[in-house]
Structure 1
């Protein structure tokens, strides 16, 4: 029996609007919108043969509107196509984003660890920007606990 081998992309979608800071939640986009934008990017940049290569394996397993963090799964053989499409992606649902590929891994476990670490860093930046006392417990901390549980619950 042959195991299906994947690559996991951890991508942060940084908003490109001047009036909205990068740490505010992205309203209106979700994992389905990201998948659709990726599909359009693959077709535009790699054609139908590129889409045919990744169509059956491309899934967006996780998206957080608070940190704009996404976990994308794709087959190992064609992960460069998905990675290139993410890099060339400029808009999701008509809003400009700068995709930043943070981590690429062969296992979901390493991607989960990287995502949790990135979320902690993002929450620390949000806390520092809001100038809250270090001991203050807020909805940001609640979000961090919730997102950690969601990320850890992801299955291959």
Structure 2
């Protein structure tokens, strides 16, 4: 029996600061809207056959809506196709975005450590920038995301 070989990508999502959204509502990144945007990009750029061959182990494992860091799992054979499709994404929920690859690894443990470091650093920056205006709800949400990433496994 052959073990399934996966690749894990730690991605940072940058939302356009000018917020040239078609609707004036805030964009909250969720697993479903990131997954939908990636699938649409694969379908547009690689067709139905490319989409079908990419969906084997494709999953958005983790996303932090405050720091906009996510972990994406894909099969070893399809990781370059998915990475390419991710770089071609221009909009999520009618807002301009682009992705930055922070780490690519064959195991989730290494990606989890990179994502946790990045999340903590971005949250410290957010605390410095916002000062006392950070709501308790935001702090609770970030702490929940930190706990979620610490227990993240296959």
Scaled to the shorter chain, the TM-score interval is 0.7 to 0.9
**How much does 1:148 deviate?**
1.9
TM-score, reference length from structure 1: 0.84
Rounded to whole Å, the distance in 1 between the matches of 2:50 and 2:100 is: 21
Question: In the alignment, what sits opposite 1:3?
Answer: 3
Post-superposition CA distance 1:2-52 (Å, at most 9, x none)? 1111001111111113159xxxxx644311111111011011112222212
Post-superposition CA distance 1:67-103 (Å, at most 9, x none)? 1111110001110001111111111121111111111
**How much does 1:54 deviate?**
0.6
Does residue 56 in structure 1 map to residue 56 in structure 2? yes
> Match for 2:150 among 133, 146, 152?
152
Gaps of 5+ in 2: 21-25
Rounded to whole Å, the distance in 1 between the matches of 2:127 and 2:19 is: 20
Gaps of 5+ in 1: 21-25, 133-137
Rounded to whole Å, the distance in 2 between the matches of 1:152 and 1:5 is: 22
In structure 2, the CA distance between the partners of 1:15 and 1:4, relative to structure 1 (3 Å rule), is same
Q: Write out the 4+ residue segments of structure 1 that deviate beyond 3 Å after TM superposition.
A: 26-29, 138-145
In structure 2, the CA distance between the partners of 1:143 and 1:29, relative to structure 1 (3 Å rule), is closer
Count the aligned residue pairs.
148
Question: In the alignment, what sits opposite 1:101?
Answer: 101
Question: In the alignment, what sits opposite 2:23?
Answer: none
Rounded to whole Å, the distance in 1 between the matches of 2:149 and 2:142 is: 10
CA RMSD of aligned residues (A): 2.2
TM-score, reference length from structure 2: 0.85
